[in-house]
Amino acid sequence: MILDKIVLSKVLTEAMSKGGDFAEIYIEEKKVNSIFCEDDKIEKINNGREKGAGIRVIKDGHTAYAYTNDLSEEGLLKTATVAAKATEFKEKVDTAINLETRQPSFEIDYKVMPESVDFKDKIDLVLRANNKARSLGEEVKQVTVSVGDVHKKKQIANSNGVLVEDELARVRFMINVVAARDGIIQTGYESVAGVRGWEIFGEFSVEDLAEKAGLRAIKMLSAKQAPAGRMPVVMSAEAGGTMVHEACGHGLELDLVQKGLSVYKGKLGQKVAAECVTVIDDGTMLGEYGTLRFDDEGNPTQKNVLIENGVLKNYMNDYITAEKEGVSFTGNGRRESYQHKPIPRMTNTYIASGKDDPEEIIKSTAKGLLVKKMGGGQVNTTNGDFVFDVQEGYIIENGEIKYPVRGATLSGNGPKALADIDKVGNDLGFAIGVCGKDGQGVPVSDAQPTIRIKEMTVGGTAMGDE
């Protein structure tokens, strides 16, 4: 799949031939394997390959994009011509492009490449998790398990002389358990994933993950209805980083800022969170699901401090938004595949650990809600308003965890919630997912320590103190 510099230079020259300001070719080849188990049987096995190239030409801030699965020199030149004509200028332009290869700043050590593992062993892993969840009792009504891995190679070259060749492997395991009793239905979910090899399953037991998900679903069947009202909320590190990802992260992507769709527009250098809050996006974290050595524009990923001690320091950008703003690249230009244009996206985004002991945070809370597992949610990036579901929650009274509650939701405003954080734990818990934006999904992880928000609106069916 790797093309030589001569061919790449020809393609870029053709892409620039109608007067483009910038041209880029993105080539990828990936192998995808996945296994799905439902109702105690293997429902689907996928084993596929995909390859192709996307060619982008930018002229006066306007972008033309064309893609193909024909990686021959002729096929790429035809695709470059299509992209070039979409930004056609009056006269032909001759461009000489000298490509220089960039080297990665860190290595990724895969002990066991996923594609080397026999499919029988992968099926066995899925069935073991399923059987463990089923063994928890008759209240378990449905178990869905999946495991998948991707091995991707990519090559990126552009008219600025950048040439990058890289490859990585990702592994992902998920289990969802549905339990029911007397008309009450609850779910439990666990996952593990990373830019890792199959050795990840030597560190994480799928049986333990299945048991944890199943017991959560069963426990929540006995939970009381969540109270409704304003109260302090403690979010455990186990809750993952849904809060930082949705209520903060998307609003710090520079394309949304430039379009006026972010509540954080025009606030660089201003206080946007409590002094105890620092938010970081770091694409270089070894093993995490959102890690990559180069972004999908060929720029090295890096550790970007977005909010430092409550002050907004930086936005995440891609080539177009960085050029428009006149700032350096942050390594956040990402795309789902060769069929998509890159846009600013998160990688591994988290609230940095603080100094508070997580147990002491709970002990110092007179009354409130403890969130141990978040569900889904929605956010309006323009004003920062959000609503999140709570999958596993507990009532805190007099500094003690009293009883579980179900049906809770959290609603509020991102900047207000960040400003109201008064405790930040010395722990850190990660969650993984596929983040959707503009019709594209990319793997990410997000994380937070145990935090306490002084007051939030909790939605529920039982009346609490206002």
pLDDT at 255 over 80: yes
Same fold, 5-102 and 119-150+168-223: yes
Average pLDDT of 406-415?
A: 95
pTM, to two decimals: 0.95
Residue 88 to residue 111: CA distance in whole angstroms = 49
What pLDDT was estimated at residue 189?
A: 96
Average pLDDT of 290-295?
A: 98
pLDDT at 372 over 90: yes
Q: pLDDT class for 61, splitting at 50, 70, 90? A: confident
What pLDDT was estimated at residue 461?
A: 77
Average pLDDT of 358-374?
A: 97
pLDDT at 1 over 70: no
SS3 for the chain is CCCCHHHHHHHHHHHHCCCCCEEEEEEEEEEEEEEEEECCEEEEEEEEEEEEEEEEEEECCEEEEEEECCCCHHHHHHHHHHHHHCCCCCCCCCCCCCCEECCCCCCCCCCCCHHHCCHHHHHHHHHHHHHHHHCCCCCEEEEEEEEEEEEEEEEEEECCCEEEEEEEEEEEEEEEEEEEECCEEEEEEEEEEECCCCCHHHHCCHHHHHHHHHHHHHHHHCCEECEEEEEEEEECHHHCCHHHHHHHHHHHEHHHHHCCCCCCCCCCCCECCCCCCCEEEECCCCCCCCCCCECCCCCECCEEEEEECCEECCCECCHHHHHHHCCCCCCCEECCCCCCCCEECCCEEEECCCCECHHHHHHCCCEEEEEEEEEEEEECCCCCEEEEEEEEEEEEECCEEEEEEECCEEEEEHHHHHHCEEEEECCCEEEEEEEEECCEEEEEEEEECCEEEEEEEEECCEECCC
pLDDT at 88 over 90: no
Q: How many percent of the chain have pLDDT more than 70? A: 97
Average pLDDT of 208-220?
A: 98
Average pLDDT of 91-101?
A: 71
The larger pLDDT score, comparing residue 201 to residue 241, is at 201
Among 101-105, 171-175, 301-305, the range scoring the smallest mean pLDDT is 101-105
pLDDT at 247 over 90: no
Q: Which CATH class is domain 5-102?
A: alpha beta
What pLDDT was estimated at residue 465?
A: 43
Average pLDDT of 4-11?
A: 96
Domain ranges in the chain? Answer: 5-102, 119-150+168-223, 229-459
Q: pLDDT class for 466, splitting at 50, 70, 90? A: very low
Which of 351, 321, 352, 350 has its CA nearest to residue 334? Answer: 321
Among 5-9, 240-244, 346-350, the range scoring the smallest mean pLDDT is 240-244
What pLDDT was estimated at residue 342?
A: 98
CATH of domain 119-150+168-223: 3.30.2290.10
Average pLDDT of 100-109?
A: 91
